[in-house]
Structure 1
Amino acid sequence: MRLGFLADFLSRTVLTGFLTGVGVQVSLLEVSGLLGLHSTGNHPLTEILHDLRSIGETNPYAVAVSLAVLVIILGGRKISEKVPGGLIAVLAAIAASWALNLGAHLETLGAVPSGLPTLGLPQLDWSWPLIQKLTAPRPGLLRGHSRAERGDFARLRRQVRDRFDENVDMVGLGMANLGAGLSGTFIVNGSPTNTEMVASGGGRSQVSQLTTSVIVLLVLLFLTGPLAYLPTAVLSAIVFLVAVKMIDIQGMRRIFIEARAEFWVALLTAATVVVVGVEQGIVLAMVLSLLDHVRRGYRGSNTVIAADKRKKGWQMVPLNPPQQIAPGLLVYCFSHSLYYANCAQFSEEVLRLAKTRTPAPLDCLCVEAAAIGDVDFSAAAMLRSIFTQLREQGIRLVFTNVSPALHAQFERHGLTELLGANAIYGSVHAVIADHEEKVAAAATTAIEGGESDESDDGART
């Protein structure tokens, strides 16, 4: 359906907050595994409260294994980022568990089925209770995976300066799920923690995924037996470290320094992920990103172009006090597309500028339209009203730097015919030249009219 563009509405600020929230959430959920406690659910705050109440039941074997894994992984990073600390920790834990019979003291992975999955169409059951079960989680899956993982995967791709197409990525994910459906496996989706694992392991291309596929194939065929000895605390420790690495304190601090308002948006997103849930956090992230976009365009920082006598050129200056670029001519720069929410601002500022009397009464008001990419129905109605009010004051309304797309919209709304054929210019230079020519012509006409009046007076005398 080519809905990959939705990922563009996850701003970097919101994405930083979202991933930080995911890191906090996952790390809190893994504490019970580190301590060898029984997990009660997927809500991080509830889980951490349960862990505090059950702290007396902590399994010392699980704690020892967890600490050993953390030391191996962090120690390997100190030596070199290329040291596969996680892989070393898993192999060492399997060997130690087998040799020391740790399965008698803590929870292990247990028997893992070996061999390749059987391919074929699944048995279909069209009973209404099953259909309800299957359809109920669909919105959550769509919200919780497609957009977030697109944004996270896009972040990784940008880090390695790799070009990507979200639509192609989603097609690949869909094909993977088709394979999962034909082989009876779990739903295939992306994950911020999995992406971080790939990134921290040095994965920068499809080679990392192909290597993983080969390793999984070998494990399924020959190595599922040893996996039975793997303590689950090892997996908790590995995921815990990955989640902690996702908590971007430095990024949040940078946002706080550079954009205070955006920091609170990011913090709210992170808090929603932790307190409410990932799906709700993604929805909030999308909504906040869109609201931030609307906020920036709703009340834009507009300017006028004035003459810069020192540098013999032009400069952008604030609307107040208004400055004419030439006597009787004012050029107004609007910084956003015109639509129903900001057309009132446009109208207020233009009518206020129309009252300019310095250094001369305003004859022409030019709108510099390079930043105006779109005019909706409400904005078109506003422009017609503005044109009428300015004409009653003897002020021409003209436009410059109008793109072909905007010109087509002017045609569709009837604005081109209303403004007149000579009201759209290709540049500010052209507007100034035409205005000065009209002023000169008016002055010449006035002088000639004055001389004619003097001749008539002499003849009558």
Structure 2
Amino acid sequence: GMALGWGCGLPAHGVAVLGPVHGGLPSLRVPLVDWNTLLALLPISASCVFVIIAQSAATSRAYAYRFGETVDENRDILGLSAANAAAGLTGTFTVNGSPTQTAMAVRAGATSQRAQLVFAGITLCVLLFLTGPLQYLPRCILASVVFCVAVGMVDVAGLVRIRRESPGECALALVTAATVVSVGVEQGIFIAIALSLFRHVHHSYKPHTLVLRPDAATGAMEAEPVAAGVQTEPGLVIYRFCADLFYANCTLFADDIALLVSTARQPVRCLVVDCSAITDIDYSAAAVVRDVLVRLQARQVHVFFGRVAPYALADMERHRITLVLGHENIYPQLHVAIAAARAAYAQAVSRP
């Protein structure tokens, strides 16, 4: 391609080439940027950060999984940060974990850090000796190399597996791919991040809630969805809320408990809340929990919290939930909380 660009004068025939490329080693200097230029650069810089982290993390995970290795994403981000700081001080290109370049390296047999030293040596030779011929390289050749590598990275079988197991994630992947092809990589990554966060918030907004009941044969606890009239045992309900409590889902917590208590065939005397999935409680949710506890106490329902993690307990103390519930009714193990609830129920029914 470079020979044709030089010998046949391809630019004169409408074929774009790279053009002059500055050679030599970069010089160290601190860039002087005025305030207006800095403000103009901020959106571009933020986009670069998102693109670099998303592409690099995805590439690291994909190839670590392929070769059965582990990846430390924090260390990768630290390395990318140091490399981009050096790039900013030398006026060179932004450093990124490129999926296409990684795929090319793997196809060439790169399996260790020695490949990085080889790439650096080749780049040094090009900068010192080959920038002259490089200016005649047609851009379409570079585009074809990237295109062929990228086409080989499309995993149709993987998409089929995702579609079979998780249609929602498959739809997200297809929307992201369509955005990348039709609009651009940057916009596709932002769309993927936004849709992933929306999907996560949707699951947190309406999490799974369950009632635990002992299996008649084994005695082990089995879970079933919350429904009217469901009880663990006569007069006892073990309720599991499968998410952190925050302002958007705390009403579901209150509504479930109200449904279980008000529709029980036999009056509920004891309620055990399995807090194994609750690691954080915000201000609004804490207010709802305190209100629920006060209402249950008014109905003579004894409440116990089981499987309370230290983080959740710290939130309960900070939000004064423990003052309403009582420290003696909070347990780190669920079976201990259930035993306490059964003892309290036996004591309640034995009273005249």
TM-score (norm 1): 0.67
AA of the residue aligned to 1:319: V
Question: Residue 119 in 1 paired to residue 27 in 2?
Answer: yes
Paired-residue identity, %: 38
Question: Residue 383 in 1 paired to residue 310 in 2?
Answer: no
Q: Corresponding residue for 2:127?
A: 220
Question: Residue 312 in 1 paired to residue 219 in 2?
Answer: yes
Higher relative contact order (CA 8 A, sep 6+): 1
Q: Is the 2:272–2:338 Cα contact (8 Å) retained in structure 1? A: no
Q: Corresponding residue for 2:173?
A: 266
Question: Residue 326 in 1 paired to residue 225 in 2?
Answer: no
Q: Which moved more, 1:283-292 or 1:243-252?
A: 243-252
Q: Corresponding residue for 1:412?
A: 318
Q: Is the 2:228–2:260 Cα contact (8 Å) retained in structure 1? A: no
Q: CA deviation at 1:284?
A: 1.6
Secondary structure in 2 matching 1:350: helix
Secondary structure in 2 matching 1:190: coil
Q: Is the 1:368–1:399 Cα contact (8 Å) retained in structure 2? A: yes
Aligned partner of 1:398 among 276, 284, 304: 304
Q: 1:195 to 1:439 in 2, by over 3 A?
A: same
Alignment of 1:18-417 (within 5 A): 97=4, 101=7, 114=23, 116-121=24-29, 124=32, 126=34, 134=41, 137-224=44-131, 227=134, 230-320=137-227, 322-358=229-265, 360-417=266-323
Q: Is the 1:108–1:229 Cα contact (8 Å) retained in structure 2? A: yes
Work out the CA distance in 1 between the residues paired with 2:318 and 2:169: 38
AA of the residue aligned to 2:301: I
Provide structure 1 residue ranges, at least 5 long, that are not aligned to the other structure. 1-92, 447-461
Work out the CA distance in 2 between the residues paired with 1:206 and 1:386: 58
TM-score (norm 2): 0.85
AA of the residue aligned to 2:72: D
Q: CA deviation at 1:406?
A: 0.8
Q: Which moved more, 1:323-332 or 1:426-435?
A: 426-435
Q: Is the 2:20–2:132 Cα contact (8 Å) retained in structure 1? A: yes
Q: Is the 2:204–2:249 Cα contact (8 Å) retained in structure 1? A: yes
Work out the CA distance in 2 between the residues paired with 1:254 and 1:337: 30
AA of the residue aligned to 1:121: R
Q: 1:442 to 1:333 in 2, by over 3 A?
A: closer
Q: CA RMSD in A?
A: 3.1
Deviations 1:59-89 (A, max 9, x none): xxxxxxxxxxxxxxxxxxxxxxxxxxxxxxx
Work out the CA distance in 2 between the residues paired with 1:186 and 1:311: 64
Q: Is the 1:160–1:204 Cα contact (8 Å) retained in structure 2? A: no
Q: CA deviation at 1:352?
A: 0.4
AA of the residue aligned to 2:279: G
Q: 1:226 to 1:280 in 2, by over 3 A?
A: closer
Q: Is the 1:365–1:397 Cα contact (8 Å) retained in structure 2? A: yes
Work out the CA distance in 2 between the residues paired with 1:431 and 1:132: 57
Q: CA deviation at 1:402?
A: 0.5
Aligned partner of 2:329 among 423, 430, 434: 423
Work out the CA distance in 2 between the residues paired with 1:421 and 1:188: 53
Secondary structure in 2 matching 1:187: coil
Work out the CA distance in 1 between the residues paired with 2:279 and 2:339: 26
Structure showing greater Rg: 1
Q: Which moved more, 1:289-298 or 1:193-202?
A: 193-202
Q: Which moved more, 1:371-380 or 1:197-206?
A: 197-206
Q: Which moved more, 1:148-157 or 1:383-392?
A: 148-157
Work out the CA distance in 2 between the residues paired with 1:268 and 1:170: 27
Provide structure 2 residue ranges, at least 5 long, that are not aligned to the other structure. none
Work out the CA distance in 1 between the residues paired with 2:47 and 2:341: 60
Work out the CA distance in 2 between the residues paired with 1:207 and 1:306: 58
Q: 1:321 to 1:117 in 2, by over 3 A?
A: same
Q: CA deviation at 1:276?
A: 2.6
Work out the CA distance in 1 between the residues paired with 2:39 and 2:327: 62
AA of the residue aligned to 2:319: H
Work out the CA distance in 2 between the residues paired with 1:375 and 1:101: 71
Work out the CA distance in 1 between the residues paired with 2:337 and 2:89: 67
Q: 1:278 to 1:391 in 2, by over 3 A?
A: same
Q: CA deviation at 1:322?
A: 4.3
AA of the residue aligned to 2:29: L
Work out the CA distance in 2 between the residues paired with 1:208 and 1:287: 35
Aligned residue-pair number: 349
Q: Is the 2:245–2:278 Cα contact (8 Å) retained in structure 1? A: yes
Q: CA deviation at 1:182?
A: 4.3
Work out the CA distance in 1 between the residues paired with 2:283 and 2:149: 50
Work out the CA distance in 1 between the residues paired with 2:347 and 2:231: 20
Q: CA deviation at 1:427?
A: 3.0
Q: CA deviation at 1:376?
A: 0.8
Q: 1:326 to 1:152 in 2, by over 3 A?
A: same
Deviations 1:270-311 (A, max 9, x none): 222223322222222111111111111111121111121122
Work out the CA distance in 2 between the residues paired with 1:344 and 1:278: 39
